[in-house]
Amino acid sequence: MNVSIVIPIYKPDKEILYKIEESLKKQKFNDKIEIIKVEKGLGLAESMNYGIKKAKYNIIVTLHQDCVPENEFWLETLVKPLKKKKVVASVSRVYLPYEFWNKFDFIAKVMSAKEQRVITPLLDEKGCAYKKEILMKVGLFNKKEFKTAGEDFDMYIKLKKEGRVVYPNCKVLHYHKHTGKNRFKKEIQLSEGFGVLVRKFKTKMPKYWIGLIKAIPIVGWPVFLINFPYKKWIFGGLFWIFFSIIVNFLYVYGFWKGFIKGEQKTRI
């Protein structure tokens, strides 16, 4: 199973990008690997589409510029399920390393504390594998409605109609550096994408009703308030009580902006 790895590049951290390159060189993988870096200044969805079209192999892996494979068996573990006819996508688990997170400024640490765990996304392209023929069949990633957020779930919905999405035991380490300032903007970016998704898919969105509650000022605040690992970090939790109010209003703004306009454009 020869593999084409597509890495969208936008203002990368060169040190992290080097770690990715070194990790890919060390992969215990017997077949051919093609690495496609897309440095076109495009949105995330459009960058991935560009790389997918350019790829010469049928197995496509998308890897974000800040995600490092955990070990040398990552690629083999990720793509192996695609040997089965009914499997259309394979998704890595994601972990924000503690030693990296601990270097954030205080506000960024509080804002991202909930990510201090292994996350299994439905599909988020940070380290995912697909069959090119299926991606082409469903029309690739939706670059028209989603510039940098929301295209992942849009693709998940399309792929689920074609076959199974699986979650093998492999991880990528997510070295996404946050500051307090860009973290607040990130909240707008993600909520904007979610607003577009709710408008488009309505009740097909899992727990869409929670997203709608969160989009109501103050009423949605408790949903944000409980989303913090208080037992692990009581001091940070005290500040989260205040920050979560701000996040609630940022979410309201981003969600309804995306819902009303029907497209996601915010980029950080």
Taken in order of first residue, the domains within the chain and their CATH numbers are 1-177 (3.90.550.10), 179-268 (no CATH)
| Nearest partner of 24 among 49, 5, 48, judged by Cα | 5
User: In the prediction, which pLDDT does 205 show?
Assistant: 82
User: In the prediction, which pLDDT does 170 show?
Assistant: 97
Chunked mean pLDDT (size 10), the chain, 268 residues: 96 94 95 95 93 97 97 98 97 96 96 94 96 97 94 95 97 94 93 95 86 96 96 96 96 97 90
Count other C-beta atoms under 10 Å from residue 53's C-beta. 13
